[in-house]
Amino acid sequence: MIDLYTWSTPNGRKVSIMLEETALPYRVHPIDIGRGDQFTPEFLAINPNNRIPAIVDQDGPEGKRFQLFESGAILLYLAWKTGRFLPRQATAQFETIQWLMFQMGGVGPMFGQAHHFLRAAPEPVPYAIERYTKETRRLYKVLDGHLANHEYLADEYTIADIATYPWVARHEWHKVDLADFPAVERWYDTIGARPAVQAGMQVPKKTG
Ligand SMILES: N[C@@H](CCC(=O)N[C@@H](CS)C(=O)NCC(=O)O)C(=O)O
């Protein structure tokens, strides 16, 4: 059994999509980051960086309890554990890791900053809005150029697609019209049609 500590955000949903895709049994522990649940001593013992997602695999390597944070590391671990969504062949594997790193180092942080300055900053900061929305569009252009000639980010559907999808799903938040990036839109519709993706995007379930 895997314990998943998550919230209704793109980084959390990467992991719930992967758990749904691999059909590993898991339990959801909602960590309400708006309320500050990520700062409790119990959660900090799992992720000292006070961010979701994190997992505890009760049946980790060598049958021992294993805890892990950072969504990219969790996706790699679950791919290792199940042998799925990370090709074994060397070039295909490193191309997958390349696009996963592109998501972790580019898409996530830059879209995240765009969201912050467009939606959450206490006062408008035009320089920051311009910087992060421009960088977001630049990243879409890179994705669009690649996806114009490739069905998926790597040769097949992988953890790189799983990592990127929930961020593109927030395209309205960062004010991107997918019609401007037709290859991304085609890819987005393909990924979004997968039942496991649809299920993973509903985690954690809304309460109240
Ligand atoms: N690089 C981390 C980023 C995780 C992250 O930024 N999580 C956000 C939600 S998407 C969070 O927990 N924020 C809580 C906080 O900043 O206190 C990962 O990919 O796991």
Phi-psi region of 162 (alpha: psi -120 to 50; beta: other; left: phi over 0): alpha
Q: What is the pLDDT of residues 174-184, one digit of tens each?
A: 999 999 999 99
Instruction: Say yes or no to pLDDT of 72 above 80.
Output: yes
Mean pLDDT for the stretch of residues 46-66: 98
Are the C-beta atoms of 104 and 82 separated by less than 8 Å?
no
Asked if 25 contacts 204 with a C-beta cutoff of 8 angstroms, the reply is: no
pLDDT per position as a tens digit, 119-134: 999 999 999 999 999 9
Whole-number pLDDT of residue 30: 98
Q: Tokens in use for 125?
A: 């900061």
- pLDDT score of 208: 56
Q: What is the pLDDT of residue 86?
A: 98
**Distance from the alpha carbon of residue 35 to the mean position of ligand 1, in angstroms:** 14
Atom number of ligand 1 nearest to Cα 14: 19
The DSSP line for 3-64 is: EEEE-SSHHHHHHHHHHHHHT--EEEEE--TTTTGGGSHHHHTT-TT--S-EEEETT-GGG-
Is it the case that residue 48 has pLDDT exceeding 80? Answer: yes
pLDDT digits (tens, 9 = 90+) for 98-108: 999 999 999 99
Mean pLDDT over 48-73 rounds to: 98
Q: Decide: 47 in ligand 1 pocket, CB within 6 A.
A: no
Mean pLDDT, rounded, for 64-79: 98
Average pLDDT of the chain? 97
Q: What is the pLDDT of residues 143-167, one digit of tens each?
A: 999 999 999 999 999 999 999 999 9
DSSP bridge partners of 4: 28, 55
Is 47 within 8 Å of 54 (Cβ atoms)?
yes
| Predicted TM-score of the model (pTM) | 0.98
Give the containing element (helix H, strand E) for 140: helix 126-147
Q: How many CB atoms lie within 10 A of CB 108?
A: 20
d(CA 39, CA 94): 35
Amino acid at the residue 126: P
User: Does ligand 1 lie within 6 Å of residue 2's CB atom?
Assistant: no
Q: Is residue 207's pLDDT more than 80? A: no
Q: Is the CB of 14 under 6 A from ligand 1?
A: no
| Gap between the terminal Cα atoms of the chain | 27
pLDDT computed for residue 206 by the predictor:
82
